[in-house]
Amino acid sequence: MLEPAEEQKQEFVQKILDRAFALYKEGRFDSSDALLATLSEEPSVKPVVLHLRGLIALQFGQMARAEEYLVGTLSLEPSDPAAHANLGALLLATHRYPEAVAAYAAALSLDTSRAAWHLHLGLAKALTGLGMIDMAAEYCREASGQAPDDPDPQLHLALLLNHSGDAASASALLHDALARHPERPDLHKALAASLFAAGAYEAAWAQYAQSAAGPNSGAKLLPEGQPVWQGEDLAGTTILVHSNDRLSDLLLCAQYLPALKQRGAKVVLRGPVRLFPFLRSLAGIDAVTDLEDAIPSCDVHAPLLSLPHILGPSRETGLAKRPYLMPDPVLAESWREAFRQLAGLKIGLHWRAVLDGEDKLLGSMRIETLLPLLDCPGTHFVLLEPNLGQDQSELLANRLIDPRLPADPNFFAIAAAIIANLDLVISIDGAIAHLAGALGKPAFVMLSSFADWRWLATAKDHPWYPQLQLFRQRTSGDWCEVVAGVRAALWAFAGASPPQDASKPTPSSHPAANPILCDALFSEALRQHRELNLHRSKNLFEHVLALDPGHISSLCNLGALESRMGNHARALQLLEETVHRAPRLLEAYLALAEALLASGRGEAALAQYRKAIELAPKSDVAHAAFALALESLGHHETAIVHFQEAVKINQQQQPTFYEALGRTSIARANLEGAQICFKHALALEPKRAAAHTGLGQIALRLGHKADAIASFRRALDIDAHHAAAQQGLEQALLLAAKAGS
């Protein structure tokens, strides 16, 4: 019992904590955090305080601080599923996918509710980031089944279906979600992506326009009282075209702006000019205003992303001539002078995915993969990457020109000036590729199997950037064939004869398996096994082994699972390999012995049990397993030795152990010992038909017919089809009838 003073203190602490929670729910994060700081050293609430301060830091985008708080929470409360889930969300947001898988897997192992759909969706997104598409789709379906009214699982599943080439199923899923949530612009965008993948451009642009025009589109401070332009005559009017979307969309759709000018309008573009000041040089614009500026007057307004739908999405209708973006003339001239001494072709190179604020799933590649491009004769390569890491700088030393591009709003202005002076750009999917398209520069675009919808599904060129060539992955994560195709095209572009092997893929140098990911998938496989989702558990074990063939725990558990599923040959192959790789692993010998026993090879199984006993003579687990196997094969005298040894080491055994020991005792005519064993099994688990049956058989042998009948009936109440209980009851009733007559 707490002392009065201590009790008053705890009440005071709880009042402060409750107030901090209330402020957090009201969105008053600064005030909530200030209150929580006063409790930071209070041990009774420290895990809760750290957790909530971590969530507040997340609200402010302070990722490092949030992670510190959440990791601190878990160091004090490692069994808090919400803390694991929130850490998973943070790791997902920072693209640390292996760690995110581990965090979500930990949360799922601790969350006993069957409606943890947000955890399944988080795990699906983390798996997507790692290219594990089929597995991610399974978790999306599970999340959708648990939360059928929430469109988020369907949205991500549609993304995965698009990636898998099933645009029709993705469209059907999204139409269903939109019927229930028409206000969600992200659903319209996703449906547009599905329609683009199916080649239905007009319908796709219509959906995309709807996503930009809806009440929840995120457009900032639109003009009040002014009509939205739907395609009517623009002569003599001022049209405000607005977009707060990502740079790739701005560049893609800005080529339609000159068509508005041609229709007699004064065109004002309102967008994130503060972030991308070079947008002022887009063709077809009379004025540019930033989203943070006051809204200019206009006659009509339109989302930029609605223009392709209104003006027409074909190559011929309403498109600007190339280029429709001009670099800063002073910057362009300075780079022309900088490159003056370079004889031959100048090639821009960009291989990292995130430049315009949105993650590209599976977009980036390792710079080592691109090294085969650098042997093309008569070429100079120019880096189009900001903040190149030290390791990569050393790797590329003296092989590429590094202009030291800054990672700030001036990046794209400088990049545009550089690209204007290049002969070719080689880039992954991203803003640099769109920038080359807007500047009218030839480019080879390397696309992952999870390429952005803006590059369509299968095209080798682009309908709205005709000077771009597209090179696509055929296998997720494998850039070798893509780079080989680019290499051959590059030699042709340079007018050189490529080496004979120029069209052959260069062998990949895959990084070592990530132990965090492997262990997380292994942990999730065990959870699925416990929940009897055997096929999913098997898939997870197999994926771990695909990443790390030497993951012993997965080898062993997959072998045991294959045995349980009746795949005996595969089970024995896996478990024999486990024993070979880990000759001191007790669990491997026991699993191999059980698989041999299940496949009918009893003597071979016993030999493996003996090896397990030799390896761990003081293991009650080994003795108990050996005893159970011996009992099942009828070797009762040897079995009793190992039963007794197991109990001597550890009396806390499973009910099945005591049942088997009871049967062995009956076989050795030790009815009193057998009775004790069966009763002990029932004390541990009352509803065990086999134990009740054993007691009935003992009573029958002792001539206690009424007790036997009662025990057999209890067994049949638990399992109406228990053959031994049915047979015993018939025998007991017959004996009772004879005795009565």
Q: How far apart are CA 145 and CA 140, in angstroms?
A: 9
Closest CA to 678 of 651, 652, 663, 659: 659
pLDDT at 217: 52
At residue 315 the predicted structure's pLDDT band, cuts being 50, 70 and 90, is very low
- 407 residue type, one letter: A
pLDDT at 4: 63
At residue 713 the predicted structure's pLDDT band, cuts being 50, 70 and 90, is very high
Report pLDDT digits (tens) over 459-506.
Answer: 677 777 889 999 988 877 778 889 999 999 999 999 887 766 544 444
Q: Is beta strand 424-428 parallel, antiparallel or unpaired with respect to 300-303? A: unpaired
pTM (two decimals): 0.79
Contact 80, 47 (CB under 8 A): yes
Q: Is the pLDDT of residue 23 over 70?
A: yes
In 365-524, DSSP assigns E strands to 379-383, 424-428, 443-447, 461-462, 465-472
Give the mean pLDDT of 304-328. Answer: 74
How many CA atoms does the CB half-sphere of 52 hold within 13 Å?
Answer: 26
Closest CA to 548 of 583, 582, 521: 521
In three-state secondary structure terms, 450 is coil
Q: What is the 3-state secondary structure (H, E, C) of 541-574?
A: HHHHHHHCCCCHHHHHHHHHHHHHCCCHHHHHHH
Share of the chain above pLDDT 70, in %: 91
Measure Cα distances from 450 to 361, 430, 446, 479, 640 in Å.
6, 13, 11, 12, 60
Report pLDDT digits (tens) over 236-270.
Answer: 999 999 987 678 888 888 888 999 999 999 999 99
pLDDT at 220: 53
Q: How many CB atoms lie within 10 A of CB 532?
A: 8
pLDDT at 505: 45
Residue whose structure tokens are 């070719």: 424
pLDDT at 104: 96
Q: Is the pLDDT of residue 317 over 50?
A: no
Contact 245, 212 (CB under 8 A): yes
Contact 422, 346 (CB under 8 A): yes
Q: Which two tokens stand for residue 421?
A: 């002076």
What are the CB-based long-range contacts (under 8 Å, 24+) for 417-420? 417/327, 417/328, 417/331, 417/332, 417/334, 417/335, 418/335, 418/348, 418/382, 418/384, 419/327, 419/348, 419/384, 420/327, 420/332, 420/335
pLDDT at 320: 58
Residue whose structure tokens are 């992955």: 473
Asked which of 137-141, 345-349, 457-461 is least confident by mean pLDDT, the reply is: 457-461
Q: Is the pLDDT of residue 408 over 70?
A: yes
Rank 163-172, 364-373, 380-389, 420-429 by mean pLDDT and report only the highest.
420-429
Q: State the Cα angle at 606 between 601 and 612, rounded to 5°.
A: 130
Residues paired with residue 447 on neighbouring β-strands, in sequence order: 472
Q: How many CB atoms lie within 10 A of CB 588?
A: 29
Q: Is the pLDDT of residue 215 over 70?
A: no
At residue 67 the predicted structure's pLDDT band, cuts being 50, 70 and 90, is very high
Q: Which two tokens stand for residue 595?
A: 């698989």
Contact 611, 625 (CB under 8 A): no
Report pLDDT digits (tens) over 428-441.
Answer: 888 899 999 999 99
Would you state the torsion angle of the CA atoms of residues 121, 127, 130, 132, taken in this order, to the nearest 10 degrees? -130
pLDDT at 35: 92
**Total count of residues recorded for the chain:** 741
Give the mean pLDDT of 40-61. Answer: 93
Closest CA to 471 of 493, 449, 491: 449
pLDDT at 357: 45
Burial (CB < 10 A; 0-12, 13-18, 19+), residue 713, is middle
pLDDT at 173: 93
Q: How far apart are CA 432 and CA 429, in angstroms?
A: 8
Alpha helices per DSSP H over 26-130: 29-37, 46-59, 63-76, 81-93, 97-110, 117-129
* Phi/psi at 6 (5° precision): -65, -35
Residue whose structure tokens are 């005298």: 637
At residue 219 the predicted structure's pLDDT band, cuts being 50, 70 and 90, is low
Q: How far apart are CA 506 and CA 720, in angstroms?
A: 64
Give the mean pLDDT of 202-218. Answer: 73
Q: Which residue has the higher pLDDT, 193 or 544?
A: 544
Q: Is beta strand 461-462 parallel, antiparallel or unpaired with respect to 465-472? A: antiparallel
Report pLDDT digits (tens) over 510-568.
Answer: 456 789 999 999 999 999 999 999 999 999 999 999 999 999 999 999 999 999 999 99
Q: How far apart are CA 485 and CA 364, in angstroms?
A: 17
